Amino acid sequence: MKLKIENTLNKNIIKFIAPSTLVEGSYEISEIKDAANIPLAQELLQLPFITNIFITANFIAIQKNDMVEWDMVIDEVKELIEDELLANPTVVLQPSKAPISVYVEMTPNASVMKFVTNRILVEGIIELKNIEEAKEVPLAQYLFSFPYIKEIFISDNFVSITKTDNSKWEDISMEIRFNISEYIREEKEISTIKNFSTYKSIDHNNREFSEAELRIKNILDEYVLPAIAGDGGNIELISFDENTKIAKMLLQGACNGCPSSTFTLKNGIEELLKQMLPNEIESVEAVNG
């Protein structure tokens, strides 16, 4: 496809006109994250001097910055567009559904396994001890129908499953993985929860934290929580007593009942807080969710 070049009133914008319609409607793209279904825009935005792309009807208008003059790069841009239109004449590709993937991760807790998906499941945290607590969580209702599942913890893109004592992971992990994958693939509802605070063991909505508590929470969120979440769990500050200097922490998911969590809490989190908040912290205590 041969393109015609046309100048505009803006010296930084050039139009590349095609002999036939390229798209229905119009598309304006300035960041590569917005160009997922437009390969042409993805290629053009790789050029460091291009700042904006506008595609409509039979032309593509491209805006550059002041790094270069058009006469230095116009042939390169024209050739790139022509090559890309030859490869993808539809310009805008229809989005396709990515395949569902679920992979299994061990956690430090031998009774808990983490099932990680390539989809965000919930925006928040859901911890459920039994099927009676799962009235607003269809995915959990489904999983609790299997006799070997004891507890369920869902956050972001993973589900942490606590198994019953009489079951073995080698017998059930692949079945759980398959069931979660099929449930998501069939686009069934994950959760109908409107107020996530009711599904967390502590409700902070109506509580004001002290300055000391906020400092502790900030350290937990930045330095501790990513690693804890990576192991399929969660940690939150319940309270901090400024007189005794004792911080009480809620442990959820894979951290709940994990033998190594006590060691991590005392030798990892407690030491970190003591270093970062000298003379403010005396001890950290765990409360299992």
* pLDDT at site 199: 45
Which CATH number goes with the domain that contains 153? 3.30.1370.70
Final residue in a domain of this structure, among 87, 118, 135: 87
62 lies in some domain: yes
Give yes or no for a contact between 14 and 57, defined as CB atoms under 8 angstroms apart. Answer: no
* pLDDT at site 89: 82
Helices marked H in the chain — which ranges?
A: 39-44, 70-87, 138-144, 169-185, 211-219, 225-230, 259-264, 270-276
Residues 114 and 189 in one domain: yes
Residues 51 and 133 in one domain: no
* pLDDT at site 103: 86
* pLDDT at site 108: 80
* pLDDT at site 95: 63
Residues 232 and 277 in one domain: yes
Give yes or no for a contact between 142 and 77, defined as CB atoms under 8 angstroms apart. Answer: no
> What are the contacts of 259-267 at 24+ separation with CB within 8 A?
259/109, 260/108, 260/109, 261/108, 261/109, 261/233, 261/286, 262/286, 264/108
Residues 181 and 210 in one domain: no
Residues 51 and 115 in one domain: no
Give yes or no for a contact between 1 and 89, defined as CB atoms under 8 angstroms apart. Answer: yes
Residues 110 and 184 in one domain: yes
Residues 145 and 168 in one domain: yes
Residues 250 and 270 in one domain: yes
Residues 74 and 145 in one domain: no
* Alpha carbons 144 and 128: distance in angstroms, whole number: 10
Which CATH number goes with the domain that contains 270? 3.30.300.130
42 lies in some domain: yes
What predicted TM-score, i.e. pTM, was given to this entire model?
A: 0.50
137 lies in some domain: yes
Final residue in a domain of this structure, among 41, 62, 87: 87
Q: Checking DSSP bridges between strand 158-163 and strand 233-241, what pairing results, if any?
A: unpaired
Final residue in a domain of this structure, among 52, 87, 122: 87
* Alpha carbons 178 and 97: distance in angstroms, whole number: 19
20 lies in some domain: yes
Question: Which ranges of the chain have pLDDT less than 50?
Answer: 197-199, 201-203, 205
For the chain, what is the domain count? Answer: 3
96 lies in some domain: no
206 lies in some domain: yes
Residues 118 and 73 in one domain: no
Residues 30 and 61 in one domain: yes
Residues 222 and 137 in one domain: no
pLDDT in tens, 223-241: 777 777 766 777 778 888 8
94 lies in some domain: no
**What domain range includes position 49?**
4-87
159 lies in some domain: yes
